[in-house]
Amino acid sequence: MTTSTIAPVAGSLPPAPDAKIAMGWMHTAKFLTTAAQLHHLPAIHVPEIAFVGRSNAGKSTCINTLTQQKQLAFASKRPGRTQHINLFSLGKHGVTDAVLADLPGYGYAKVSRSDKVRWQQVMVNYLVSRPGLTGIVLLCDPRLGLTELDEALLEVLRPRVEEGLKFLIVLTKADKLTRAEQAKILSITRLNAGGGEVKMFSALKKQGVDEVAQLLWQWAHPVEPAVGAVNAVEAVEAVEAVDTADSADTAAEDATPKAPIDPAPEDSLKN
């Protein structure tokens, strides 16, 4: 008996790779550029994944742990001091196949109110309008849960998430919670995630590191339609279009009143 397999749908996520493959891919991360304004960012033609979160949520530590590089993302002793969008390229053999974006933290920095407002606007504009943005990773301290600022961010993202933007909430510093506490906050956060995924993460104990790396790899490598499959679909659509047109012409002919045929004059039948 032959077992049939269902081809993956174009645009869907591929099977999760082996953890070593995903972590090896993450380790290829290299600094690409930094920008203080949105219009200074270069156009990116590969999947772009942004990391956002409160200034003390452990965002830089998470990025450094995933990429296995201690100083790739700047972890300041004074949270919130980083005020640039930093891009990092990913890809082996010099070929970039994805980009990570490290956005400034929010909600904690001891800076002027005007600077806070300006950066919040830059971040919102980035999340709403950045072309090529494939996924968002929201870092959250599970001891605080989703704050009002986090929930406001989720609301801003909702339209793009409904259009297909991937979304993940990473609950950092999991090592500071018991298993029971982890299970409870995980359940609560999933209820408020709006369809996004939620994972526990600990840089100290390496909890959740492989799983997050595998998911990001999947985001960056969506299933592409096979060329033959695309051509076959186009061929079927073309045939269906011709059949539809022929059917319409036939129906139109049938609906056209036929003029009666005058019998030939008797004289013409003679001789």
Closest by CA position to 221, among listed 5, 17, 4: 17
Quick one: pLDDT at residue 257? 55
| Per-residue DSSP letter, 106 | B
Chain segment 158-205, per-residue pLDDT in tens: 999 999 999 999 999 999 999 999 999 999 999 988 788 999 999 999
Mean pLDDT over 109-120 rounds to 71
Contact in structure between 35 and 84 (CB atoms under 8 Å): yes
Does residue 115 register a pLDDT over 80? no
φ, ψ of residue 90 in degrees (nearest 5) = -125, 140
Strands laid side by side in the 98-102 sheet: 30-35, 85-90, 98-102, 48-53, 133-140, 166-171, 197-200
Mean pLDDT over 10-25 rounds to 86
Does residue 101 register a pLDDT over 50? yes
Q: 220-257 burial, b for 16+ CB within 10 Å, e for fewer?
A: bebeeeeeeeeeeeeeeeeeeeeeeeeeeeeeeeeeee
Does residue 239 register a pLDDT over 50? no
Quick one: pLDDT at residue 104? 87
- How far is 160 from 201, CA to CA, in rounded Å? 25
Quick one: pLDDT at residue 271? 42
Most confident segment among 98-107, 237-246, 248-257 = 98-107
